[in-house]
Chains A and B, each alone.
Chain A
Amino acid sequence: MTRTRFLFAALPLVIGLALTVLFYLQLGRDPAILPSALLGKPAPHLALPGLAAGQPGLSDADLRQGRPVLVNVFASWCGACIVEHPLLSELVKDPAVILYGLAWRDRPEATAAFLAEHGNPYRAVGSDPDNRAGIDWGVYGAPETYVIGGDGTILFKWVGALTPAVIADEILPRLKPGAAS
Chain B
Amino acid sequence: MIAELGQFLLVLAFGVAVLQGTVPLVAAMRRHAGGMALAGSAAVLQFLLVAGAFACLVHAYVTSDFSVANVYHNSHSLKPMLYKITGVWGNHEGSLVLWALMLTLFGAAVALFGGALPASFRARALAVQGLIGSGFLAFMLFTSNPFARLDPAPLEGQGLNPLLQDPGLAFHPPFLYLGYVGVSIAFSFAVAALLEGRVEPSWARWVRPWTLAAWSSLTVGITGGSWWAYYELGWGGFWFWDPVENASLMPWLATTALLHSAIVVEKRDTLKSWTILLAILAFSLSLLGTFLVRSGVLTSVHAFANDPARGLFVLCFLAAVSGGALTLFAWRAPRLAPGGLFAPVSREAGLVLNNLLLATLTATVLLGTLYPLGLDAVTGDKISVGPPFFNATVLPLAGILVLALGIGPLLPWKRGDLAGVLARLKFVAVAAALALLVGLWLAGTGPLLSLIAFAAALFMAGGVLSELAQRARLGSLGPAAAWARLRALPRGAWGMTFAHLGLAVTIVGIAAATGFGEERLLQMKPGDRVSLAGYQLTLEGTSRVAGPNYVADRARFLVPGLPAMEPELRRYDAPPMETNEAAIANRPLGDLYVVVGAAAGGTVAVRAYWKPLALWIWGGGLMMALGGLISLSDRRLRIGAPLRRAALPPATVQS
| A binding-site residues for B, Cβ under 8 Å | 2, 5-6, 9-10, 12-13, 16-17, 19-20, 22-32, 34-35, 77, 79, 82-83, 110, 113
Chain A nearest CB from B532 CB (Å) reads 24
Q: Tell me the residues in window 279-319 of chain B with beta carbons closer than 8 Å to chain A beta carbons.
A: 280-281, 284, 291, 295-299, 306, 308, 311-312, 315, 318-319
Chain A nearest CB from B260 CB (Å) reads 19
Chain B nearest CB from A129 CB (Å) reads 16
Query: Within the complex, which residue of B323, B331, B376 is in contact with A29, where a contact is CB–CB below 8 Å?
Result: B376
Report yes or no: A10 in contact with B373, Cβ–Cβ below 8 A: no
Query: Within the complex, which residue of B284, B311, B376 is in contact with A16, where a contact is CB–CB below 8 Å?
Result: B284
Query: Does B115 lie at the interface of the complex (its beta carbon under 8 Å from any beta carbon of A)?
Result: no
Q: Of residues B297, B318, B329, which shows the largest number of chain A Cβ atoms within 10 Å of its Cβ?
A: B297
CB contacts (< 8 Å) of B296 on chain A: these are: 30-31
CB contacts (< 8 Å) of A24 on chain B: these are: 315
How many Å lie between the Cα of A32 and that of B376 in the bound state? 12
How many Å lie between the Cα of A30 and that of B327 in the bound state? 32
Report yes or no: A25 in contact with B377, Cβ–Cβ below 8 A: yes
How many Å lie between the Cα of A5 and that of B334 in the bound state? 6
How many Å lie between the Cα of A16 and that of B380 in the bound state? 22
Q: Which residue of A lies closest to B382 (CB)?
A: A34
How many Å lie between the Cα of A30 and that of B295 in the bound state? 10
Report yes or no: B600 in contact with A110, Cβ–Cβ below 8 A: yes
With A20-B319, A35-B380 as known contacts, state yes or no: A77 contacts B598, CB within 8 Å: yes
Report yes or no: B329 in contact with A6, Cβ–Cβ below 8 A: no
CB contacts (< 8 Å) of A6 on chain B: these are: 330, 334
What are 26 of the A-B contact pairs (CB < 8 Å)? Answer: A9-B273, A9-B330, A9-B333, A13-B326, A13-B327, A13-B330, A16-B322, A19-B370, A20-B318, A20-B323, A22-B370, A22-B373, A22-B377, A23-B297, A27-B295, A27-B308, A27-B312, A29-B376, A30-B306, A31-B297, A31-B298, A31-B376, A34-B382, A35-B380, A79-B577, A83-B577
How many Å lie between the Cα of A24 and that of B277 in the bound state? 24
Report yes or no: B326 in contact with A16, Cβ–Cβ below 8 A: yes
B367-405 interface code vs A (CB 8 A; 1 in, 0 out):
000100110110010100000000000000000000000
How many Å lie between the Cα of A123 and that of B380 in the bound state? 36
Query: Does B232 lie at the interface of the complex (its beta carbon under 8 Å from any beta carbon of A)?
Result: no
How many Å lie between the Cα of A30 and that of B299 in the bound state? 9
With A5-B334, A9-B330 as known contacts, state yes or no: A23 contacts B576, CB within 8 Å: no
Report yes or no: B600 in contact with A23, Cβ–Cβ below 8 A: no
With A22-B374, A23-B291, A34-B382 as known contacts, state yes or no: A79 contacts B578, CB within 8 Å: yes
With A13-B329, A35-B382 as known contacts, state yes or no: A83 contacts B297, CB within 8 Å: no
Q: Which residue of B lies closest to A113 (CB)?
A: B600
Compute the total of residue contacts between A and B using a CB distance below 8 Å. 80
Chain B nearest CB from A79 CB (Å) reads 5
CB contacts (< 8 Å) of B620 on chain A: these are: none
CB contacts (< 8 Å) of B326 on chain A: these are: 12-13, 16
9 closest pairs, A vs B, by CB? A13-B326, A10-B330, A5-B334, A9-B333, A79-B578, A31-B299, A9-B330, A20-B319, A25-B377
CB contacts (< 8 Å) of A110 on chain B: these are: 600
CB contacts (< 8 Å) of A32 on chain B: these are: 299
Query: Does B597 lie at the interface of the complex (its beta carbon under 8 Å from any beta carbon of A)?
Result: yes
Query: Within the complex, which residue of A20, A29, A83 is in contact with B576, where a contact is CB–CB below 8 Å?
Result: A83
How many Å lie between the Cα of A2 and that of B380 in the bound state? 41
Chain A nearest CB from B368 CB (Å) reads 14
Report yes or no: A13 in contact with B281, Cβ–Cβ below 8 A: no
Chain B nearest CB from A35 CB (Å) reads 6
CB contacts (< 8 Å) of B318 on chain A: these are: 20, 23
CB contacts (< 8 Å) of B308 on chain A: these are: 27-28
CB contacts (< 8 Å) of B299 on chain A: these are: 31-32
Query: Within the complex, which residue of A2, A19, A26, A83 is in contact with B376, where a contact is CB–CB below 8 Å?
Result: A26
How many Å lie between the Cα of A20 and that of B287 in the bound state? 12
CB contacts (< 8 Å) of B600 on chain A: these are: 110, 113
CB contacts (< 8 Å) of A23 on chain B: these are: 291, 295, 297, 315, 318, 373
Q: Which residue of A lies closest to B579 (CB)?
A: A79
With A12-B329, A22-B370, A27-B297 as known contacts, state yes or no: A17 contacts B576, CB within 8 Å: no
How many Å lie between the Cα of A25 and that of B100 in the bound state? 28
How many Å lie between the Cα of A82 and that of B273 in the bound state? 57
Q: Which residue of B lies closest to A83 (CB)?
A: B576
With A27-B308, A31-B298 as known contacts, state yes or no: A77 contacts B597, CB within 8 Å: yes
How many Å lie between the Cα of A13 and that of B332 in the bound state? 13
CB contacts (< 8 Å) of B295 on chain A: these are: 23, 27
Chain B nearest CB from A23 CB (Å) reads 5
How many Å lie between the Cα of A22 and that of B374 in the bound state? 7
Q: Which residue of B lies closest to A24 (CB)?
A: B315
CB contacts (< 8 Å) of A17 on chain B: these are: 323
CB contacts (< 8 Å) of A12 on chain B: these are: 277, 280-281, 326, 329-330
Report yes or no: A26 in contact with B377, Cβ–Cβ below 8 A: yes
Chain A nearest CB from B580 CB (Å) reads 11
How many Å lie between the Cα of A108 and that of B390 in the bound state? 39
Chain A nearest CB from B247 CB (Å) reads 13
Chain B nearest CB from A10 CB (Å) reads 4
How many Å lie between the Cα of A34 and that of B315 in the bound state? 24
Report yes or no: B373 in contact with A27, Cβ–Cβ below 8 A: no
Q: Which residue of A lies closest to B372 (CB)?
A: A31
Chain B nearest CB from A40 CB (Å) reads 15
Chain B nearest CB from A142 CB (Å) reads 14
Report yes or no: A9 in contact with B334, Cβ–Cβ below 8 A: yes
CB contacts (< 8 Å) of A20 on chain B: these are: 315, 318-319, 323
